Amino acid sequence: MNITIIGTGYVGLVTGACLAELGNNVFCLDLDQRKVDLLNAGGMPIYEPGLKEIIERNVEEGRLRFSSDVEASVAFANVQYIAVGTPSGEDGSADLQYVLAAGRAIGRHMRDFKVIVDKSTVPVGTADKVRQAILEQLAERGMAHLQYSVISNPEFLKEGAAVDDFMRPDRIVLGVDDDAQGRHALAIMRELYAPFNRNHERTRVMDVRSAEFTKYAANAMLATRISFMNELANLADRVGADIELVRQGIGSDPRIGYSFLYAGTGYGGSCFPKDVRALAQTAAEYGHEMKILAAVDEVNQRQKNVLADKVFEQFGPDLRGLSFAVWGLAFKPNTDDMREAPSRTLIGALLRAGAGVAAHDPVAVEQTRLALAEDFADRPELLQNIRYVDKPMEAVQGADALIVVTEWKNYRSPHLAALKTALMNPLIIDGRNLYDPHQVTAAGFTYLAVGRNNLA
């Protein structure tokens, strides 16, 4: 099948590459010419395990191409995916300008039947707006008779495991209209996704609004679990309980389960923060207050300060003359995504209080430089006090404490004796509860983790 993907970010690029891998011919459109040029030169705009190999293979075999030619992209395929960004607007609502621009582009150039597949995360009712945007363009061209169907196919992939998630989805949600075009669109999508349903049927067909809502409901539920665990952890610190033992104690109940039950430094990334706010904003537009979501967001904002708070408790508010090793910058392992990453909050607090930072991350250093340039637009000179190192142990050399922010696998089993020798102070502040408190305290460290300080 011929497929067009509009937007080659984390979702669009993975979707395009994986659909090509299944044997489809895929045209990836992006308006960012630098990104298109980079991809055409064999480079990668993002880090995602396994993605580069798939792209290389499919480009070489002629099934995958990258372009900024809008007209050609619309002409290429009957199936047009919209996978552009939907960032938070000023009031927290999803900014639909890119989605609607994509819709207008399709309406401006289409000449035959199109299935417009909305993969971006968009508020309930957006498909109606896209349909309208297309219709206005068609009407201007005197082609309002052309038929099309706007369907919702939210994406549930996780950054860091995106290829695997896309290739082996838990479920495929398709929101379609119950009319002739909708049924035609559904038949096409079933054929396209047939390879994912070989073993058992994973597709859940529903109306468009329910599909749009499903994506927000999923992310809001997951974000709620994280904030809930973080609240429990902060209380555990105060009452002298260990949140890790509590986690295991409750996770064993199948109604609760172990997944997504970790206390830490708060959620980040491009999805949970904006989607929680956008869902709350949708509710507000309908005159309904979502109290839990407001609390989830507030708890998360507070949690992002938890590591800096622990530093200030130890060293006081003035950190001049001190330096800190930071392990992990990306908002989670196996990605270079720095959007709303907790490390930015921590590094912001450390540098502004006068400290130096030596930071390590296996893949996110370039994205960190860009993100911090934005965060420190008011005081760029402070960025002289952060240096990036190639190996984790280089960061700790002479540092006043080690702070672990992202749970990359290579931080899990450090050589404790070497760590102790390298640090000025034997202090580990662990935002991911990676270590056994008994083991690190027995090795002579002061160990400050999240929700388990009774054991320190």
Binding footprint of ligand NAD on the chain (CB under 6 A): 6-12, 29-32, 35, 83-86, 98, 101-102, 120-121, 155, 157, 159, 270-271
The distance of closest approach from Cβ of residue 11 to ligand NAD in the complex, given in angstroms and rounded to an integer, is 4
Q: Which is nearer to ligand NAD, 11 or 350 (CB)?
A: 11
Using CB positions, name the residue nearest to ligand NAD: 9
Q: Which is nearer to ligand NAD, 161 or 290 (CB)?
A: 161
Is-catalytic flag, 18?
A: no
**Amino acid at residue number 396:** V
Query: Strand 427-430 relative to strand 25-29: parallel, antiparallel, unpaired?
Result: unpaired
The distance of closest approach from Cβ of residue 303 to ligand NAD in the complex, given in angstroms and rounded to an integer, is 20
Contact 104, 96 (CB under 8 A): no
Contact 331, 367 (CB under 8 A): no
Which of 431, 441, 427, 443 minimizes the C-alpha distance to 243?
A: 431
Residue 82 pairs in a beta bridge with 6, 118
Reading the block at residue 29, the tokens are: 């459109």
Whole-angstrom distance, CA of residue 2 vs CA of residue 59 = 15
The distance of closest approach from Cβ of residue 44 to ligand NAD in the complex, given in angstroms and rounded to an integer, is 13
The distance of closest approach from Cβ of residue 132 to ligand NAD in the complex, given in angstroms and rounded to an integer, is 17
Q: Which is nearer to ligand NAD, 32 or 179 (CB)?
A: 32
Number of separate helices (H) and strands (E) present in the chain: 18, 14
**Amino acid at residue number 369:** R
Residue 61: other Cβ atoms inside 10 A: 11
Residue 152 pairs in a beta bridge with 118, 175
Whole-angstrom distance, CA of residue 25 vs CA of residue 76 = 9
Q: Which is nearer to ligand NAD, 35 or 247 (CB)?
A: 35
Tell me phi and psi for residue 428, to 5 degrees: -115, 125
Whole-angstrom distance, CA of residue 332 vs CA of residue 408 = 8
The distance of closest approach from Cβ of residue 79 to ligand NAD in the complex, given in angstroms and rounded to an integer, is 16
Whole-angstrom distance, CA of residue 102 vs CA of residue 80 = 10
The distance of closest approach from Cβ of residue 378 to ligand NAD in the complex, given in angstroms and rounded to an integer, is 25
**Amino acid at residue number 333:** P
How many Cα atoms sit within 13 Å of 405 on the Cβ side? 32
Q: Which is nearer to ligand NAD, 109 or 302 (CB)?
A: 109
Residue 184 pairs in a beta bridge with none
Indicate which residue of 74, 185, 271, 448 is catalytic.
271
The distance of closest approach from Cβ of residue 396 to ligand NAD in the complex, given in angstroms and rounded to an integer, is 31
Name the one residue in this structure whose structure tokens are 């309002």: 144
Contacts of the segment 230-236: beta carbons below 8 A, 24+ positions apart: 230/263, 230/264, 230/266, 230/299, 230/300, 230/303, 230/306, 230/450, 231/299, 232/263, 232/451, 233/263, 233/450, 233/451, 233/452, 234/303, 234/306, 234/451, 235/451, 236/263, 236/451, 236/452, 236/454
SS3 204: strand
The distance of closest approach from Cβ of residue 102 to ligand NAD in the complex, given in angstroms and rounded to an integer, is 4
Residues with active-site annotation: 271
